[in-house]
Amino acid sequence: MTLNRTRAKLKQSLPPAFLYPEYRSFWVGMLASVSGFQMMQFGQIVLVHQLTESPIFLGLLGLSSGIPAILLNPLGGVYADRWDKRRLVVFTQTITALLLVCLAILTWLGMVNAWHCLFIAFLVGSVEAFDQSARRALFPH
């Protein structure tokens, strides 16, 4: 009986949107994606700091991921409106994962340089513009 009461209280305390299974899975997926993205950014910051110990390179890292995300966002919105949003999200997440695997391999082999991090951050920022636009367009559905 206490388990049923606990479930009832939990349902009352959650926002109404969580009553829909599709929204719950969307929310959990977003939580995983955003958490992974934040960990990736933090890992790149630590790696660039270890490689250069330069605050200028840390700023360049932020610029190299932020500028393409800002500039390509309108184009990402156009593609999010014209293509299947779910496929676009899967595609962008796959590209991001492949880019990060490349960075991980370079790091593991001891061949990584700061410019590798900047270039991969630029590419990930470019892909992120399309990913975020598709996710925001997917939300109402």
CA 16 to the chain's CA centroid? 26
Give the amino acid at 53.
E
The two tokens of residue 125 are 């920022």
Taking only the tens place, the pLDDT of each residue in 9-66 is 666 677 777 778 888 888 888 888 889 888 999 999 999 999 999 999 999 999 999 9
**Predicted TM-score of the model (pTM):** 0.81
CB proximity list for 68: less than 8 A, separation 6 or greater: 122, 125, 126, 129
Domain residues of the chain, as ranges?
Answer: 28-138
